[in-house]
Amino acid sequence: MEKNVTNSDLKSSVNGGVVDVYGEDSATVEHSITPWSLSVSSGYSLLRDPRYNKGLAFTEKERDTHYLRGLLPPAVVDQNLQEKRLINNIRQYQHPLQKYMALTELQERNERLFYKLLIDHVEELLPIVYTPQLLVKLVRNMAVFSGDLRVYSSA
């Protein structure tokens, strides 16, 4: 007895009930397919990502590889010199809130440099980054909105 295949016999599947006559659906079964790929940011998006942005510390080769020519000044400044400049700038601020805001802005644009600065000057900067009294004073006197970190004084 011969069995006839009708449309009602086809099982519902992802391919909409169409029979894979030519084996196209199973052609890639043996191959490992990754539906995503690791992509490294380049250009403007790289500079906007604080995890990977090195600022002026990008070498000439890195600037060419990541399409940063014209997006950065031509000078290459290593992180040690950037760190020295930043700690001198931070030390010039009189109020701890100014130091806190400078460190927060640094963290938002260059995490590598932020953590390098924090590790190398932990005794000096940790009380600024984590000081409950400073935060209480900040909440009482100012409104800080997340995002752009704009500070509005109530006085």
Q: For 12-56, how does the pLDDT look when each residue is reduced to its tens digit (9 = 90+)?
A: 444 455 566 655 555 555 544 444 445 567 888 989 989 889 999
Contact between residue 89 and residue 30 where contact means Cβ atoms under 8 Å apart: no
CB count within 10 Å of CB 65 equals 12
**Residue linked to tokens 């490992």:** 32
Output the domain CATH number for residue 112: 1.20.1370.30
Domain boundary among 61, 77, 93: 77
Confidence of residue 146 (pLDDT cuts 50, 70, 90): very low
Q: Are 133 and 100 members of one domain?
A: yes
In a domain, 19, yes or no: no
Q: Are 92 and 68 members of one domain?
A: no
| Whole-number percent of the chain with pLDDT over 70 | 59
Q: Are 144 and 107 members of one domain?
A: yes
- Model-level pTM? 0.60
